[in-house]
Amino acid sequence: MSFYDATVSAYLQILTSLSGLLAKAEAHCEAKKIQPEVLLNARLYPDMYPFTRQIQLACDFAAKGTARLSHTEVPSTPDTETTFAELRQRVSKTIDYLKTFKPEQFEGGDARDVTFPSGPNTTATLKGQDFVNRVSFPNFYFHAAIAHGLLRHNGVEIGKRDFLGVA
């Protein structure tokens, strides 16, 4: 399996599932007469990010991780989404962005240095494979899983198959 297939395909699978989760969450709000803001602002704990930010961060880790692995310009996306439609658009734009990458951009990427922010005023450098395994994938999956968990906790009828995008 190529490094491209091992990374971009994984991001695309979960981003596609997040799009489906957003549609189910919005339908849940409509069916149960729940104000969308209830889910959009839901948190697991007061010091954790709300649902909207979880989606934004999942998109960021996919887009920025892909850019860093291919040594292309890292995109900057303002975090302005406040509705399900806007979040679906962000996920869709992230998917479209990832689809612009070609496998040859990732050749040797597992062994190339990847430099990334590691704090407010610090950076770190890891080889591509270590960056994926220790930084990009864990953060991407964390935020995607938290988003899924927030919806499920709030009554949206979804399960693991929805998270995996095979429902």
Q: Along the 167 residues of the chain, how does pLDDT read in single tens digits?
A: 899 999 999 999 999 999 999 999 999 999 999 999 999 999 999 999 999 999 999 999 999 999 999 999 999 999 999 999 999 999 999 999 999 999 999 999 999 999 999 989 999 999 999 999 999 999 999 999 999 999 999 999 999 999 999 86
Question: What's the predicted TM-score (pTM) here?
Answer: 0.96
**CA-to-CA distance for 159 and 22, rounded, in angstroms?**
13
Contacts 24+ apart (CB under 8 A), 121-124: none
SS (H, E, C) the chain: CCHHHHHHHHHHHHHHHHHHHHHHHHHHHHHHCCCHHHHHCCCCCCCCCCHHHHHHHHHHHHHHHHHHHHCCCCCCCCCCCCCHHHHHHHHHHHHHHHCCCCHHHHCCCCCCEEEEEEECCEEEEEEHHHHHHHHHHHHHHHHHHHHHHHHHHCCCCCCHHHHHCCC
CATH class of the domain whose range is 3-164: mainly alpha
pLDDT for 1 equals: 85
Tokens representing residue 131 in the block: 């960056």
**CA-to-CA distance for 123 and 104, rounded, in angstroms?**
26
pLDDT for 114 equals: 97
Q: Which amino acid is at 117?
A: P
Cα end-to-end span (Å), the chain: 25
Nearest to 13 by CA among 95, 77, 68: 95
**CA-to-CA distance for 132 and 32, rounded, in angstroms?**
39
